[in-house]
Structure 1
């Protein structure tokens, strides 16, 4: 049964809790878009453990971003995760013509979503088990992904 109710949030702590919940409720795929991922807790121990569990059990992860510097410089745990699971994680940077996009979201299994309405603000919503709630963002992600180019390679040479 689909859960059509969305739960709002207004703080970074709430975003982090909903993001962790999205990871836990997803088994197949995670698609994330954010300008730079500075507010996503990708560098924390518990998120690293949750993502390792998700990826070890066959999940795949796609991240699209405008700027990769935050992940590359500030999230060494995520960079190790990328080295260890490079075959299950893909990262892409958007071209200049998409840099005006300012929303931010994580979609799990095409039915779970954590979405901030604007990347400069914490206000957003989360919905779990709802294909309709995730559908528009998933369609946006697919378009962003097609236009973007690979970045954040698991090794310095990109191998």
Structure 2
């Protein structure tokens, strides 16, 4: 698949929805805080709900800071309550808090922005960018700590 370049947040959000719809088993999403990703939109929550409910998709969300998620993504927090066995949120460690590139990975696609402060990026299939993001996510995930947001203890 030839990479599809995008230059605006609207195009990025559209590619995120395409990738969400195409995910089969795993969805790994790294973003500093999800601001600008469209994660707060009803369309994103509906797409994730359909995937979590229908295919037993495993969603791993990795953030630098959960404050924006807590304030602006109540639909995703609700999904985490219902599908807590399939939806995990972790926070990167202090050493890994440099800006980096936000990306969303599925088995067959990657949607990434070249820098967190820029809307420019690409959507691509398996290849170097996919492999590099997969490796980066794995490294960050191993060092990350579970987040407290959205978890009820029911005590």
> In structure 1, how many angstroms separate the alpha carbons of the residues matched to 2:70 and 2:149?
10
> In structure 2, how many angstroms separate the alpha carbons of the residues matched to 1:18 and 1:31?
15
Structure 2 spans left out of the alignment, 5+ residues: none
Residue 41 of structure 2 is matched in structure 1 by 44
Q: Which consecutive segments of 4 or more residues in structure 1 shift more than 3 A?
A: 156-159
**Greater alpha carbon shift after TM alignment, 39-48 vs 29-38:** 39-48
Give matches, 1:50-61, under 5 Å.
Answer: 50-56=47-53, 57-61=55-59
Give matches, 1:137-156, under 5 Å.
Answer: 137-156=133-152
| RMSD of Structure 2 on Structure 1 (CA) | 1.6
CA deviation profile, 1:103-125 (whole Å, cap 9, x unmatched): 1100012x210001110000100
Q: Normalised by the size of structure 1, how large is the TM-score?
A: 0.91
Paired residue for 2:30, among 30, 33, 45?
A: 33
> In structure 2, how many angstroms separate the alpha carbons of the residues matched to 1:22 and 1:28?
12
Instruction: Kindly state the Cα deviation for residue 73 of structure 1 after the two structures are TM-superposed.
Output: 1.0
Q: Normalised by the size of structure 2, how large is the TM-score?
A: 0.93
Structure 1 spans left out of the alignment, 5+ residues: none
Give matches, 1:1-159, under 5 Å.
Answer: 3=1, 5-56=2-53, 57-109=55-107, 111-128=108-125, 130-157=126-153
Q: Give yes or no for contact 1:114–1:125 (8 Å, CA) kept in 2.
A: yes
> In structure 2, how many angstroms separate the alpha carbons of the residues matched to 1:158 and 1:126?
40
Aligned length: 154
- SS of 2:27's equivalent in the other structure is strand
Q: Give yes or no for contact 1:33–1:106 (8 Å, CA) kept in 2.
A: yes
